[in-house]
Amino acid sequence: MIERKPGNIGRTLSIPRTATIEGGVDYPGPVVIDGTVLGDVNCLSLIVTERGVIEGTIKSEEVTVMGEVTGEIFANLLTLKAACSVNADIVHKRLLLENGSFFEGKSRRHTDPLRLL
């Protein structure tokens, strides 16, 4: 499970649209990705904006995808917004799919998906 450190929970890590990160992102608080991450993302909560791209494994309490994700997603709450593109196997406790979202892969419900990694 993701370790919550009180001092970092309120601080959001933002990856700007002009940035490309090759390697993983491991952060104890919320993360917003507007750029590209080529690697795994482990955080408390994650928002992938319309321009955001992740190629890797995501592990987070809450994930909201508006952009593109390829790989795997492990989340207690996973929301796929309209116009997002997700080509991934997902393990979730709760899954919300908006009309117009694109999802291709396997979906599996689990009572505690974050313990599987």
User: pTM (2 decimals)?
Assistant: 0.91
Separation of alpha carbons 101 and 85, rounded Å? 7
Among all chains, which residue has been given the structure tokens 């009180």?
Answer: 6
Q: Render pLDDT for 31-43 as a digit per residue (tens, 0 to 9).
A: 999 999 999 999 9
pLDDT computed for residue 1 by the predictor: 40
Q: Give the pLDDT of residue 2.
A: 43
Residue 79 β-bridge partners: 64, 96
Res. 8: pLDDT tops 60: no
- In the chain, helix, strand, coil percent, each to 5? 5, 60, 35
Which range (1-5, 50-54, 84-88) has the least confidence?
1-5
pLDDT at 114 over 80: yes
pLDDT of residue 117: 75
The first and second tokens of residue 25, run together, are 């992102």
Give the mean pLDDT of 3-19.
77
